[in-house]
Amino acid sequence: MTQATQSLFADHAFLPEGWRRNVLLQWNAHGALLSVTPDAQASAGVARASGPVLPGMPNLHSHAFQRAMAGLTEYRAASGTGATDNFWSWRDLMYRFAARITPEGLASIAQWLYIEMLKAGYTSVCEFHYVHHMQDGSRYANAAELAQRVVDAAGASGIGITMLPVLYQYAGFGAQPPRDDQRRFINTPESLLTLLDTLRSARPEHGALRYGVAPHSLRAVSNDTLRALLDGLDAMSPGAPVHIHIAEQTAEVDACIETEGARPVQWLLDRFDVDARWCLVHATHIDADETTALAKSGAVAGLCLTTEANLGDGIFPTHDYLEQRGRIGVGSDSHIGVDWRAELRLLEYGQRLSRRQRNVLASADMPRVADRLFAASLEGGALATGRAVGALRTGARADFIVLDANHASIAEHGSDAWLSGVVFCEHGETPIRDVYAGGLKVVDGRKHRDEERAYAQYRAALAELLK
């Protein structure tokens, strides 16, 4: 039996044109918005949101298993005089962790992580999934076993997911053979496409589930294998999303120049039709020409500020890129934090600290930094998901957040200051009270419907992993 239309009345809601009053939201049984009507009449039969309503934020970059190692690598592992920890030494630790992941463990970690995301107001996630094989590198009976566990965890939590199985083929530029500790990740374009095909048959796409692919990085594929992957994807699902790690570390930029004769972003833009279906994650190290070219391409720059800060990556030229109308979105990546408010705050603070100015990412038509960054990352993040999300408009998913109007960060402020309070203030518990994903209220009064059970399972999985 199909359920009747559902609805919510909001005294204030953030629509594509900004804050509007008396907004009636209506959606169908599949979780798609049927109408969004400002200046509507409240009526007796319609539930009323307890506070201002925002669209849910897409999380454009996640490695779910890494949630279980958050907080466990914050010590100096390198020894000897002048020894430094860096991205690469962190990666060694992370690989040791990845080697221990089991299907059951991954399911429990992903389930808990996605609940944390929903509680934070992330209503979609793009999962850049690369641990595919058994501990010894051989295939599971179902080649898509681990990816399927992640898809199922998303379904159970209620979050929308774009599953991006990762092609990891080489250890470095010039088609270097994979390292032993990368054996769980390795595929050819053909085997990866087969894995994706298997997964698509077992778990067909629907309103909350989409597929794409992720060539891991230019280090991990070649020109030819990237081409083969994209051709295969287009045969299966034309225009599906493509995500890639692109220029996170100066060492990879140097290696790319040395073996390929160009910087990574330039190399990619010169050889492939990079457009709005692409998400370039960590385009951190780009020069002025690449900044202009990337902005012009229409691709989304995937920024993961808390992870990039945690790993000591560097600072993306956000100001110049936004001035040239570049698209952005945010992701929680390694999940050292799961909070888009912190991502947006740090995005601005990196610019403030390096330029010794304030309100760097404001623009002439959007003088409020939080409003500009929120709107930009909704739009770019939505594009990266390849799903109809990121805005309160007809046809989009009914994904939204209800703020606590009495929260100390926004109470007594005018609506024009609400997003500033939400993003920049760090006072006590989250101002996010309720969260709807696909029209279902999955977080009610800061609690997810399944959080106790999921947390117990997460702890059990973690205990097992850390044994």
Q: Is residue 91 at the binding interface for ligand NGQ, with CB under 6 A as the rule?
A: yes
- Least CB distance from residue 241 to ligand NGQ, whole Å? 17
Which tokens sit at 218?
């230019």
Could you tell me whether strands 18-27 and 33-37 are parallel, antiparallel, or unpaired per DSSP bridges? antiparallel
Task: Round to whole Å and give the CA distance between 453 and 456.
Answer: 5
DSSP state of 176: B
Cβ–Cβ < 8 Å for 318, 373: no
Residue of the chain from 108, 237, 334, 385 that contacts ligand NGQ (CB under 6 A): 334
Task: Give me the phi and psi of 91, to 5 degrees please.
Answer: -60, -40
Residue of the chain from 116, 127, 248, 343 that contacts ligand NGQ (CB under 6 A): 248
**Cβ closer to ligand NGQ: 91 or 446?**
91
**Cβ closer to ligand NGQ: 313 or 399?**
313
Catalytic residue among 63, 129, 282, 285: 282
Give the DSSP letter string of 193-216. HHHHHHHHHHS--BTTEEE-BEE-
- Least CB distance from residue 182 to ligand NGQ, whole Å? 9
**Cβ closer to ligand NGQ: 54 or 110?**
110
Q: Is residue 59 at the binding interface for ligand NGQ, with CB under 6 A as the rule?
A: no
Q: Is 333 a catalytic residue?
A: yes
**Cβ closer to ligand NGQ: 122 or 185?**
185
For 93, the enclosing helix (H) or strand (E) is helix 87-98
Task: Give me the phi and psi of 398, to 5 degrees please.
Answer: -80, 70
- Least CB distance from residue 100 to ligand NGQ, whole Å? 15
Residue of the chain from 133, 245, 263, 335 that contacts ligand NGQ (CB under 6 A): 245
Task: Round to whole Å and give the CA distance between 182 and 184.
Answer: 6
Q: Is residue 184 at the binding interface for ligand NGQ, with CB under 6 A as the rule?
A: no
Nearest in space to 159 (alpha carbons), one of 24, 276, 62, 303? 62
Q: Is 216 a catalytic residue?
A: no
**Cβ closer to ligand NGQ: 311 or 382?**
311
Q: Is residue 183 at the binding interface for ligand NGQ, with CB under 6 A as the rule?
A: no
Q: Is residue 332 at the binding interface for ligand NGQ, with CB under 6 A as the rule?
A: no
The site that binds ligand NGQ (CB under 6 A) totals a number of residues, namely 9
- Least CB distance from residue 319 to ligand NGQ, whole Å? 23
Catalytic residue among 61, 63, 333, 371: 333
- Crossing angle of helices 264-271 and 250-260, rounded to 10°: 50
- Least CB distance from residue 259 to ligand NGQ, whole Å? 16
Cβ–Cβ < 8 Å for 360, 348: yes
**Cβ closer to ligand NGQ: 63 or 210?**
63
Q: Is residue 132 at the binding interface for ligand NGQ, with CB under 6 A as the rule?
A: no
Residue of the chain from 12, 20, 63, 407 that contacts ligand NGQ (CB under 6 A): 63
**Cβ closer to ligand NGQ: 240 or 305?**
305
Q: Is residue 127 at the binding interface for ligand NGQ, with CB under 6 A as the rule?
A: no
- Least CB distance from residue 254 to ligand NGQ, whole Å? 15
Q: Which of residues 404-463 bind ligand NGQ (CB under 6 A)?
A: none
Task: Round to whole Å and give the CA distance between 442 and 315.
Answer: 35
Give the DSSP letter string of 307-352. HHHHTT-----HHHHHHTT-EEEE--BT-S---HHHHHHHHHHHHH
Task: Round to whole Å and give the CA distance between 177 and 168.
Answer: 11
Could you tell me whether strands 300-303 and 160-167 are parallel, antiparallel, or unpaired per DSSP bridges? unpaired
What residue number has its CB nearest to ligand NGQ? 63
Residue of the chain from 7, 307, 332, 385 that contacts ligand NGQ (CB under 6 A): 307
Nearest in space to 182 (alpha carbons), one of 170, 193, 190, 165? 170
The residues, any chain, with a CB within 8 Å of residue 100's CB and separated by 6 or more, are 135, 465
What residues line the site for ligand NGQ (CB under 6 A)?
A: 63, 91, 217, 245, 248, 307, 311, 333-334
The catalytic residue positions are: 282, 333
